[in-house]
Structure 1
Amino acid sequence: MVRTSPSFSKKSANPKHRQNRTARETTVMREITALSATAFAKALFAIEHPVIFTHTHPDGDTVGTAAALAAAYRATGKVAFYASEEPLPERLAFLMEKTPRTECFDGLVRIAVDVASPVQLGRYAEKVTDGTGFALMLDHHEVGEPFAPYFLIPGASSAGEVLLTVLEEAEKLGILTLTREIAAPLYAAISSDTGCFRFSNTEASTHLAVAKLLSFGIDAADINHRLYESKSRTQIAAEGLTADHLRTPLPHVAGVLIPRAMRESLGIPLSDFETAIDVVRSLAGTEIAYVIKETDAGVFRVSLRSTGADVSAVTASFGGGGHVRAAGCTIRVGSIEAAEDMLLEKIKKAL
């Protein structure tokens, strides 16, 4: 069993190859079992009828990891479903073409990928406490609240890289053989969370993992084109709207507010603002970038990125989590301006 500790262990200053990493201690509300890669692989493929949950506001890492796990189940002759609180962004839908979505979980065993805390499950968080629960969770975030037996590599580039470690163990155990169908969404997951290998979470081990995936003959150019260069008109409009409303309330801090009324009046879905944070962080001289999106009345989703400051400490103060340089949370308050004021007070302390 895992002992209670004040926070996730931070990534070592001397990174090691991902295969030498192990599950580590985490902040927990209750004792939850940390599994080795081998034990996790055995438990994962002992499940006959899996449903794989992504986090809210699904990105390429959670979707790619879920798609790869579903493909791995298909390779063992099983059918896996996926569950997501919202429809997938249009640009990520290709990853789930062979995996059916469901909201009926009778007879299915729940697995969460790239989900650090129950709050990231959205309305499905009630499944954590309603007595049915989750069987397993796989993650890579340094800050969070485990809610099921888990395999965790804090600070790994992506959940996709963590899943590759597990699938390699499964292959050693003779459970499955890695295939091109599994490798392609894993590549998409890793590429997505590393910003196509531009972000600081890209290490030597990340490139070694990707080299293995490329050896299966996947079309990396097509995957990256779909992830970064193929956009709908409304997503382009969302990025233009973001650029038009950029604000710099503090030195080296840039952000944008996306009120619900504004995006709805323009007919732009919330999912099309997924890349808004990339527009904000591209402003020259920005050290901390933020996007605040109003999802419902009084509910504001915050995304943060930094070039060095610990933004996970900022989001943790609002019950969120993430990584040192990329984190998120939800703020519940009366107005989007009030949410920004609360956020900026915490950002000032992080600078």
Structure 2
Amino acid sequence: MAKDALFPYDEVKALIEGAESITILSHLNPDPDAIGTALGIYTLLKEQKRRRVEVVNASKALPRHLDFLFGYEKIKIGIEYENSLIIACDSGSIERLGFDLSGREILNIDHHQSNDLYGSLNVVIPKYASSSQVAFDLFKKIYDISAQSAESWYAALLSDTRYFTTSSVNAAVFESAKELVGLGVDPAKVATHFTQRRSLSSFRILQRALGSLQLYSDARIAALYVTKEDIAATGATVPDMDGIVDYARSLATVEVALFAMELEEGIRVSLRSKGADVNAIAACFGGGGHKVAAGITFKEGNLQQIIDTIIAKIQETGLADGKKK
């Protein structure tokens, strides 16, 4: 259970109750934690029927397997409300939200250790396993939680813990899951949407990514990539590539894994480890995230050169050699 000292309940309630309209945002190219956290809050605040509420994401492609979550079809691509209170979900920086938010009040809800605390009010708890877990422990002390909000937050928690397998999983995570199920979540239903609704394009892009596998430092570092041509040929979207980096990390000898996507807007790199601090590597290139899961976005550059540069930095630090600081 969360300690009350971690959560500014009164300040959050006052900020929400004082707003005439609210815009709930999640980061660009959202993962299920971002979408699930946002939809859980959206549903919760819509049920209050006291103010205008909208849920927005700037990306055109959203994870389609999340369309069972209440409010999914209400996600807009642009902000309609002027001067609305912004509730930012799962975004480590204001830039990742994809909008000019100058002059806006922002409630920043997140769990990334690299979060730069850009909000007017920040509820950022890195020890939590997902942003949805932060949102649940925050809002359950302020409002009644419906089964619809609980389902969105449970789905987000399930995804960000990789089905309760990551190092962030502890007794508090299972307690949150238990409480969410007690509010009406059907775990089997959620699991089905995550495990039995893969697109054909996700398999085709995975095949191409696995074909690119390269090993370094006596197979302690693994790198995968896909090019713009690969993405076009397979019809894959960014959500289709979620989790590909974990295939590289799953190799027995690998300590640090890298997956690079060459997109029209730049090159996105995902870093994963079995204990090494890849957040420190990401920070060297302007990225961030968690100790064992981080990301970097390069607006321009050569795909192979970027991979080589990051591999060289990993080798220089010795993180793949058992130095898990």
Q: TM-score, normalised by structure 2?
A: 0.90
1:142 aligns with 2:113: yes
* Residue 13 of structure 2: aligned partner: 41
Alignment of 1:86-97 (within 5 A): 86=59, 87-95=61-69, 96-97=71-72
2:36 alignment partner, one of 49, 57, 64 = 64
* Residue 78 of structure 2: aligned partner: 103
1:226 aligns with 2:193: yes
Map Cα deviations across residues 174-202 of structure 1 (whole Å, 9 max, x no partner). Answer: xx311111110010111111001111101
Q: Contact (CA 8 Å) 2:208, 2:230: kept in 1 or not?
A: no
Alignment of 1:127-276 (within 5 A): 127=101, 131-148=102-119, 149-170=121-142, 176-250=143-217, 251-276=219-244
Residue 48 to residue 133, structure 1, CA distance change in 2 (3 Å): closer
2:6 alignment partner, one of 11, 22, 25 = 22
Match of 2:261, SS? strand
Residue 292 to residue 136, structure 1, CA distance change in 2 (3 Å): same
Map Cα deviations across residues 262-319 of structure 1 (whole Å, 9 max, x no partner). Answer: 211332223311221222222232211111111226x211111110100000001111
> Shift in Å at residue 98 of structure 1?
5.3
How many residue pairs match? The answer is 312
Residue 332 to residue 99, structure 1, CA distance change in 2 (3 Å): closer
* Residue 84 of structure 1: aligned partner: 57
Give me the identity figure in percent: 26
Q: CA–CA distance in 2 between the matches of 1:342 and 1:48?
A: 48
Q: CA–CA distance in 2 between the matches of 1:289 and 1:20?
A: 37
Q: CA–CA distance in 2 between the matches of 1:290 and 1:320?
A: 14
RMSD: 1.9
Q: Contact (CA 8 Å) 1:41, 1:169: kept in 2 or not?
A: no
Q: CA–CA distance in 1 between the matches of 2:103 and 2:80?
A: 10
* Residue 279 of structure 1: aligned partner: 247
**Is there any run of 5+ residues in structure 2 with no aligned partner, and where?**
321-325
Opposite residue 43 of structure 1, the aligned amino acid is L
Q: CA–CA distance in 1 between the matches of 2:179 and 2:225?
A: 41
> Shift in Å at residue 337 of structure 1?
0.5
Identify the range of structure 1 (301-310 vs 46-55) with the bigger mean alpha-carbon deviation. Answer: 46-55
Q: TM-score, normalised by structure 1?
A: 0.83
